[in-house]
Chain A
Amino acid sequence: MAQSSQAAEGLCSIPALLQRNAKELAGRPAYREKEFGIWQCWTWAEAEKEIEALALGLINLGVNEGDFIAIIGRNRPYFYWSMVAAQSVGAIPVPLYQDAAAEEMAYVLDHCGARFAVVEDQEQVDKVIEIQDRLHQFEHMIYVDPRGMRKYDHHKLHTFAGIQDQGRAAYWEFIEDLKARREKLDYDSICVMLYTSGTTGKPKGVVLSNRNIIEASRSSAEFDNLTKNEEVLAYLPMAWVGDFIFSIGQAYWCGFCVNCPESPDTMQTDLREIGPTYYFAPPRVFETQLTNVMIRMEDASRFKKWLFDVFMEHARKVGPAILDGKPVGGWDRLKYALGNLFIYGPLKDTLGFGRVRVGYTAGEAIGPEIFEFYRSLGINLKQLYGQTEASVFITLQPDGEVRNDTVGIAAPGVEIRIDESGEVFYRSPGTFEYYYKNEESTKSTKDAEGWVATGDAGFFEEGSGHLRIIDRAKDVGKMADGKMFAPKYVENKLKFYPNILEAVVFGHQRNACTAFINIDLTAVGNWAERNNIGYASYQELAGHPKVLDMIQGHVEEVNRSLAEDPMLSHCQVHRFLVLHKELDADDGEMTRTRKVRRGVIAEKFGDLLGALYDGSGDIFTTTEVTYEDGRKGSISATLEIRDAAVVPVNGDTKVAAE
Chain B
Amino acid sequence: MLDMSQGYTTEDGRKIGGVVMEMKHITLRFGGVVAIQDISFDIREGEIRAIIGPNGAGKSSMLNVISGFYNPQEGEVWYKGALRPPMKPYQVARQGIARTFQNIALFEGMTVLDNVMTGRIRQMDAGLMAQALWKGRAEREEVENREAVEKIIDFLEIQHIRKTPVGRLPYGLKKRVELARALAAEPSILLLDEPMAGMNVEEKEDMSRFILDVNDEFGTTIALIEHDMGVVMDLSDRVVVMDYGKKIGDGTPDEVRNNQDVIDAYLGVAHD
Q: Which residue from A35, A150, A265, A269 sits with its C-beta under 8 Å from B154?
A: A35
Known interface pairs A35-B154, A36-B154, A151-B13; A262-B159 also in contact (CB < 8 Å): yes
Contact between B147 and A150 (Cβ–Cβ < 8 Å)? Answer: no
Q: Which residue from B14, B147, B157, B216 sits with its C-beta under 8 Å from A148?
A: B216
Task: Among A35, A37, A148, find the residue whose CB has the most chain B CB atoms closer than 10 A.
Answer: A37
Query: Does any Cβ of A come within 8 Å of B12's Cβ?
Result: yes
- A401 and B35 alpha carbons, distance in the complex (Å): 79
Query: Does any Cβ of B come within 8 Å of A263's Cβ?
Result: yes
Contact between A266 and B160 (Cβ–Cβ < 8 Å)? Answer: yes
Chain A neighbourhood of B155, CB < 8 A: 147
Contact between A147 and B217 (Cβ–Cβ < 8 Å)? Answer: yes
Q: Which residue of B lies closest to A628 (CB)?
A: B202
Contact between A266 and B159 (Cβ–Cβ < 8 Å)? Answer: yes
Chain A neighbourhood of B209, CB < 8 A: 148
- A35 and B209 alpha carbons, distance in the complex (Å): 22
- A263 and B13 alpha carbons, distance in the complex (Å): 31
List A residues 1-56 near B (Cβ within 8 Å).
35-38
- A147 and B159 alpha carbons, distance in the complex (Å): 17
| Shortest Cβ distance from residue A540 to the other chain B in the assembled complex, whole angstroms | 15
A137-158 to B contact mask, C-beta < 8 Å, 1/0: 0000000000110110000000
Contact between A148 and B213 (Cβ–Cβ < 8 Å)? Answer: yes
- A488 and B213 alpha carbons, distance in the complex (Å): 46
Chain B neighbourhood of A150, CB < 8 A: 216
Chain B neighbourhood of A266, CB < 8 A: 159-160
Contact between B147 and A36 (Cβ–Cβ < 8 Å)? Answer: yes
Contact between B160 and A265 (Cβ–Cβ < 8 Å)? Answer: yes
- A602 and B146 alpha carbons, distance in the complex (Å): 53
List B residues 129-156 near A (Cβ within 8 Å).
146-147, 150-151, 153-155
Chain B neighbourhood of A36, CB < 8 A: 147, 150-151, 153-154
Contact between B160 and A37 (Cβ–Cβ < 8 Å)? Answer: no
Chain B neighbourhood of A269, CB < 8 A: 160
Task: Among B154, B157, B212, find the residue whose CB has the most chain A CB atoms closer than 10 A.
Answer: B154
Please tell me the number of chain B residues within 8 Å of chain A, measured between CB atoms. 19
Q: Which residue from B14, B146, B160 sits with its C-beta under 8 Å from A263?
A: B160
Q: Which residue from A35, A151, A263 sits with its C-beta under 8 Å from B157?
A: A263
Query: Does any Cβ of A come within 8 Å of B162's Cβ?
Result: yes
Known interface pairs A263-B159, A266-B160; A37-B213 also in contact (CB < 8 Å): no
- A35 and B147 alpha carbons, distance in the complex (Å): 11
Chain B neighbourhood of A37, CB < 8 A: 146, 150, 153, 159, 162
Kindly state the interface size class of chain A when it binds its partner: 10 to 19
Chain B neighbourhood of A263, CB < 8 A: 157, 159-160
Contact between A151 and B12 (Cβ–Cβ < 8 Å)? Answer: yes
List A residues 239-291 near B (Cβ within 8 Å).
262-263, 265-266, 269
Chain A neighbourhood of B153, CB < 8 A: 36-37
List A residues 167-183 near B (Cβ within 8 Å).
none
B153-180 to A contact mask, C-beta < 8 Å, 1/0: 1110101101000000000000000000
Q: Which residue of B lies closest to A150 (CB)?
A: B216
| Shortest Cβ distance from residue A152 to the other chain B in the assembled complex, whole angstroms | 10
List B residues 1-17 near A (Cβ within 8 Å).
12-14
List A residues 59-85 near B (Cβ within 8 Å).
none
| Shortest Cβ distance from residue B169 to the other chain A in the assembled complex, whole angstroms | 13
Q: Which residue of B lies closest to A34 (CB)?
A: B159
Chain B neighbourhood of A262, CB < 8 A: 159
Contact between A265 and B213 (Cβ–Cβ < 8 Å)? Answer: no
| Shortest Cβ distance from residue B207 to the other chain A in the assembled complex, whole angstroms | 14
- A35 and B155 alpha carbons, distance in the complex (Å): 11
List B residues 107-121 near A (Cβ within 8 Å).
none
| Shortest Cβ distance from residue A40 to the other chain B in the assembled complex, whole angstroms | 12
Q: Which residue of B lies closest to A35 (CB)?
A: B154
Q: Which residue of B lies closest to A38 (CB)?
A: B150
List B residues 183-227 near A (Cβ within 8 Å).
209, 212-213, 216-217
Q: Which residue from B146, B147, B151, B159 sits with its C-beta under 8 Å from A265?
A: B159
- A36 and B144 alpha carbons, distance in the complex (Å): 12
Chain A neighbourhood of B13, CB < 8 A: 151
| Shortest Cβ distance from residue B26 to the other chain A in the assembled complex, whole angstroms | 35
| Shortest Cβ distance from residue B130 to the other chain A in the assembled complex, whole angstroms | 24
Chain A neighbourhood of B12, CB < 8 A: 151
- A460 and B13 alpha carbons, distance in the complex (Å): 67
| Shortest Cβ distance from residue B213 to the other chain A in the assembled complex, whole angstroms | 5
- A35 and B150 alpha carbons, distance in the complex (Å): 9
Chain A neighbourhood of B160, CB < 8 A: 263, 265-266, 269
- A35 and B151 alpha carbons, distance in the complex (Å): 9
- A204 and B147 alpha carbons, distance in the complex (Å): 45
| Shortest Cβ distance from residue B234 to the other chain A in the assembled complex, whole angstroms | 15
| Shortest Cβ distance from residue B160 to the other chain A in the assembled complex, whole angstroms | 4
Chain B neighbourhood of A35, CB < 8 A: 154
- A546 and B147 alpha carbons, distance in the complex (Å): 49
Q: Which residue of A lies closest to B209 (CB)?
A: A148
Chain B neighbourhood of A38, CB < 8 A: 150
| Shortest Cβ distance from residue A125 to the other chain B in the assembled complex, whole angstroms | 14
| Shortest Cβ distance from residue B48 to the other chain A in the assembled complex, whole angstroms | 15
B57-99 to A contact mask, C-beta < 8 Å, 1/0: 0000000000000000000000000000000000000000000
Q: Which residue of A lies closest to B205 (CB)?
A: A629
Q: Which residue of B lies closest to A261 (CB)?
A: B159
Chain B neighbourhood of A265, CB < 8 A: 159-160
Chain A neighbourhood of B150, CB < 8 A: 36-38
| Shortest Cβ distance from residue B179 to the other chain A in the assembled complex, whole angstroms | 16
- A266 and B163 alpha carbons, distance in the complex (Å): 11
Q: Which residue of A lies closest to B163 (CB)?
A: A269
| Shortest Cβ distance from residue B9 to the other chain A in the assembled complex, whole angstroms | 12
Contact between B157 and A147 (Cβ–Cβ < 8 Å)? Answer: no
Q: Which residue of B lies closest to A629 (CB)?
A: B205
List B residues 21-65 near A (Cβ within 8 Å).
none
Chain A neighbourhood of B157, CB < 8 A: 263
| Shortest Cβ distance from residue B163 to the other chain A in the assembled complex, whole angstroms | 8
| Shortest Cβ distance from residue A392 to the other chain B in the assembled complex, whole angstroms | 30
| Shortest Cβ distance from residue A265 to the other chain B in the assembled complex, whole angstroms | 4
| Shortest Cβ distance from residue B10 to the other chain A in the assembled complex, whole angstroms | 10
- A581 and B23 alpha carbons, distance in the complex (Å): 52
- A37 and B149 alpha carbons, distance in the complex (Å): 10
| Shortest Cβ distance from residue A289 to the other chain B in the assembled complex, whole angstroms | 16
Known interface pairs A263-B159, A266-B160; A147-B213 also in contact (CB < 8 Å): yes
Chain A neighbourhood of B14, CB < 8 A: 151
- A37 and B162 alpha carbons, distance in the complex (Å): 9
Q: Which residue of B lies closest to A149 (CB)?
A: B216
Q: Which residue of B lies closest to A148 (CB)?
A: B213
| Shortest Cβ distance from residue A397 to the other chain B in the assembled complex, whole angstroms | 34
- A148 and B157 alpha carbons, distance in the complex (Å): 14
- A584 and B14 alpha carbons, distance in the complex (Å): 39
| Shortest Cβ distance from residue A479 to the other chain B in the assembled complex, whole angstroms | 44
- A265 and B216 alpha carbons, distance in the complex (Å): 26
| Shortest Cβ distance from residue A269 to the other chain B in the assembled complex, whole angstroms | 7
- A514 and B15 alpha carbons, distance in the complex (Å): 63
| Shortest Cβ distance from residue B171 to the other chain A in the assembled complex, whole angstroms | 15
| Shortest Cβ distance from residue A328 to the other chain B in the assembled complex, whole angstroms | 39
Chain A neighbourhood of B159, CB < 8 A: 37, 262-263, 265-266
- A214 and B14 alpha carbons, distance in the complex (Å): 50
| Shortest Cβ distance from residue A522 to the other chain B in the assembled complex, whole angstroms | 14
Task: Among A36, A147, A151, A263, find the residue whose CB has the most chain B CB atoms closer than 10 A.
Answer: A36
Chain A neighbourhood of B213, CB < 8 A: 147-148
12 further A-B pairs in the complex, CB-CB below 8 A; given A36-B153, A262-B159 = A36-B150, A36-B151, A37-B162, A38-B150, A148-B209, A148-B217, A150-B216, A151-B13, A151-B216, A263-B157, A265-B160, A266-B160
B residues adjacent to A (C-beta < 8 A): 12-14, 146-147, 150-151, 153-155, 157, 159-160, 162, 209, 212-213, 216-217
A-B contact pairs, 13 of them (CB 8 A): A35-B154, A36-B147, A36-B150, A36-B154, A37-B153, A38-B150, A148-B212, A148-B213, A148-B217, A150-B216, A151-B12, A151-B216, A265-B160
Q: Which 7 A-B pairs have CB atoms at the shortest separation, nearest pair first?
A: A265-B160, A36-B150, A37-B150, A266-B160, A263-B159, A262-B159, A266-B159
